[in-house]
Structure 1
Amino acid sequence: MIGLVSYGVYVPSYRIRVEDIAKQWGENPANIKSGLLVEEKAVPDLDEDTATIAVEAARAAIRRANIDPNDIGAIYVGSESHPYAVKPTATIVAAAIGAPTSITAADFEFACKAGTAAIQTSMGLVALNKIKYGLAIGADVSQASPGDALEYAAGAGGAAFVIGQDNIVAEIEEFASFTTDTPDFWRRDLQKYPEHGGRFTGEPAYFRHTISASEALLEKTGLKPTDFDFAVFHQPNGKFPRKAAKTLGFTSEQLKPGLMVTHIGNTYSASSLIGLAATLDQASPSQRILMTSFGSGAGSDAFVFRVTDRIEELRERAPKVEEFLLSKKYLDYAAYAKHQGKIRM
């Protein structure tokens, strides 16, 4: 039985409200908030980046289950904002947590689903009994061009999951993926900010892939939406996951515990993973969770998790997602621009 042995999250404490961004660009904040269903987003501190966020999430995961770092055989970090073009984030995490030099490590990129790709890769090594534990991380400090629609939701955060076969808090019962070549969102080399393909971002990209992967998983397992207690989808905004859930037959009650975008924005590679962690913070033994990620370019990975009795023992050993939501400090647009490196001298 392969599953999640532990999990950990980190979200920066700084926030900026949608109103403060809208004011800067002369936009109507009420229209933007109702259109995106986002109130505010997380902003990294001046000394925070994808690597530091990944380290903090990994440390939380290790602490929650009292994992010996020497038992970790693989570390994979998924992100689209790695701090170095040539220098892996995974090795920084490995050194920070005290992992052995015998590990295999790599950085993953697949827009916002690189973290779930890391989970799948870790599952493979664990299933082959080549490693005891794999550490899969999704972390991002999302970037958006000043004044672009993406700026209202592009947030920051990370989630880490330890994958193994023993003492698991949630069994991974099955997974399915759906992948195509769809140019909905991209950033070329040496470009600071990404671009998006307008009409490609909705139906051809997010909805087609998210729904197709989820339907493939339901067909593969013979499960129905009513067989799940919770559902988590990638959250570029608040409307898309709600529409995807409704299309598939899931209810707002199943979706609500993992819907974090309203409070911290779209954390890209961490988006569905933080939603999963928030759901695990509330879930009871034997409850079932569907999680489907989405990454532009484009692809989705869908998973079925079955929570075990061990969740009750580990849940309180590391900060819950709700604690990060409550611990926050607000920035005005000038301070936000400084934190995000939008002002260059």
Structure 2
Amino acid sequence: MKLGIVDMEMATAHHSVSLSALAHATNVDPNKYRFGLRQENFSMPALDEDAVTLGATAASRVLARTGKTAIRTLIFATESSVDQSKSAGVFAADLLDLSVNTRIVETKQACYAGTAALQMALGIVARNPQEQVLVIASDIARYAVNTAGEPTQGAGAVAMVVGADPQLLEIEPQTGVWSAHIDDFWRPNDLSTPLVDGARSLDAYLGAFTGAWEDYLAHGGAGLDEIDYFVHHQPFTKMAVKGHRRLVEHTGKLIDEQTVEPGLRYTTQFGNSYTASLYLGLLSLLHSDADLDGKRIGLYSYGSGATGEFFTGVVQPGYRRVIDSHYADAAINEREELSFEEYRALHAAHERGSKHDYQNPRVTRAPFRFVGVRDGARSYQRNTLPTDSGVISTINKS
């Protein structure tokens, strides 16, 4: 029996920020971002968007195709959690009108949590092939201004329906894992932006990659010559390229970088999306012009702190009948670009807690919005077309 991804879809935030504009405003050579990071833009949420609304939007799009009848479990993977106790999945399930007979849980291990959720989902389906699992990976990468991490911000979500006899991607059972306690990136509970040791994070990513690869081979994984394309975790686009080059160096075998390139398009536009990053890369590959019927894809997932996993999936014949690039193309073209001044004002406006009540202006055109906080509780609603898209004027008036 085959197990894997039946269908998948994505979402991103309302606004975009040009890295060229950021570079000019902060007296940085734009080529540092264009070539050093291979980034062009990043997505930024409006005040009425968060990880819940992005995740629910992606899920509503995939469920419109697959239906909800077989969904008995929702696993929400995020490191942008909105509550220390309550799963973001509970909010999302309410917005999606899922059955009350659904188990719901949130997973966390930095950017790796989306893959942990996928592997958990496969185990649930293996136990009862009649059930399907909805996996949501949704995050907002937000860094302090005037830091090295600022140009690597971003936002995005991917929702996957996991089940038996998948129409899209069979996930093969062989997998390689590697974990170690490394302080390369972390965010204590009392901080709204993470702490990062950039050089150490680079080394940890690459070390976990080779460690996971060797474990994958030790557990009967396919050889390099049996893998047709690769998608690696993308905190920024160039990182995936660096990872692939390390694999070439480690194995001593030449692997054409064109086996990586089709999976890189979306990160250049949306920026870092943490748990969703690897799966936005997978969608980028599936939406490309490459003929992928029957092709094996190698997938490397990494989460700081640190955990790495390498596994493979085989694209199913006729996969193009399952998905198309409509939402991704619209997400790139329809975001509202912020000026540098607008971006910095919105960045500061997101610095909010739950000690005081607030109501968010209606900005997002997505199906769901974050209404605000009252008595410490977060409120969400299904959206109607916004009457005021002037988020910055609202910020300045307040």
TM over 0.5: yes
Quote how far apart the aligned CAs of 1:170 are: 1.0
- For residue 181 of structure 2, give the secondary structure of its aligned residue in structure 1: strand
| Aligned equivalent of 2:167 | 168
2:39–2:268: 8 Å Cα contact kept in structure 1?
yes
**Equivalent of 2:286 in 280, 289, 298:** 280
Find out whether 1:17 has 2:24 as its counterpart: no
Q: Deviations over 1:31-66 (max 9, x none)?
A: 343321212111112211100000011112212xx3
Distance 1:178 1:131 in 2: 32
Distance 1:75 1:102 in 2: 11
The one-letter amino acid paired with 1:258 is: G
- For residue 305 of structure 1, give the secondary structure of its aligned residue in structure 2: strand
* Cα root mean square deviation, aligned: 2.0
| Aligned equivalent of 1:52 | 53
Find out whether 1:188 has 2:188 as its counterpart: yes
Q: Deviations over 1:218-255 (max 9, x none)?
A: 44344223322211111122222112112223322111
Distance 1:302 1:210 in 2: 7
1:232–1:255: 8 Å Cα contact kept in structure 2?
yes
Distance 2:159 2:309 in 1: 17
The one-letter amino acid paired with 1:331 is: L
1:167–1:310: 8 Å Cα contact kept in structure 2?
no
* More moved, 255-264 vs 212-221: 212-221
The one-letter amino acid paired with 1:4 is: I
Quote how far apart the aligned CAs of 1:13 are: 4.1
Distance 1:44 1:254 in 2: 32
Q: Deviations over 1:173-215 (max 9, x none)?
A: 1332211111100111111111112431111x11011232234
1:125–1:131: 8 Å Cα contact kept in structure 2?
no
| Aligned equivalent of 1:197 | 197
2:3–2:166: 8 Å Cα contact kept in structure 1?
no
- For residue 149 of structure 1, give the secondary structure of its aligned residue in structure 2: coil
1:10–1:56: 8 Å Cα contact kept in structure 2?
yes
The one-letter amino acid paired with 2:317 is: D
| Aligned equivalent of 2:155 | 156
Quote how far apart the aligned CAs of 1:130 are: 7.4
Distance 1:215 1:17 in 2: 39
Quote how far apart the aligned CAs of 1:109 are: 1.1
- For residue 300 of structure 1, give the secondary structure of its aligned residue in structure 2: strand
Distance 2:217 2:245 in 1: 15
2:114–2:137: 8 Å Cα contact kept in structure 1?
yes
Find out whether 1:251 has 2:250 as its counterpart: no
Q: Residues 130 and 168 from structure 1, CA distance in 2 versus in 1: closer, same or farther, beyond 3 angstroms?
A: closer
- For residue 24 of structure 2, give the secondary structure of its aligned residue in structure 1: helix
Find out whether 1:133 has 2:132 as its counterpart: yes
- 1:226-241 paired onto structure 2 within 5 Å: 226-241=225-240
- For residue 323 of structure 2, give the secondary structure of its aligned residue in structure 1: helix
What's the TM-score, normalizing by structure 1?
A: 0.92
- 1:261-300 paired onto structure 2 within 5 Å: 261-282=267-288, 283-300=291-308
| Aligned equivalent of 1:337 | 344
Query: Which of the two has higher C-alpha Rg?
Result: 2
Find out whether 1:82 has 2:81 as its counterpart: yes
Q: Figure out how many residues of one structure are paired with residues of the other and give that number.
A: 341
Q: Deviations over 1:75-121 (max 9, x none)?
A: 11111112223322101221222221111111111111111111011
What's the TM-score, normalizing by structure 2?
A: 0.80
| Aligned equivalent of 1:307 | 315
The one-letter amino acid paired with 2:297 is: I
- 1:202-241 paired onto structure 2 within 5 Å: 202-203=202-203, 205-241=204-240
- For residue 12 of structure 1, give the secondary structure of its aligned residue in structure 2: coil
2:8–2:161: 8 Å Cα contact kept in structure 1?
yes
2:5–2:162: 8 Å Cα contact kept in structure 1?
yes
Quote how far apart the aligned CAs of 1:269 are: 1.1
Q: Deviations over 1:130-178 (max 9, x none)?
A: 7610111111111100111111011000001111103431110133221
Distance 1:167 1:305 in 2: 11
- For residue 109 of structure 2, give the secondary structure of its aligned residue in structure 1: coil
- For residue 271 of structure 1, give the secondary structure of its aligned residue in structure 2: helix
| Aligned equivalent of 2:120 | 121
- For residue 297 of structure 1, give the secondary structure of its aligned residue in structure 2: coil
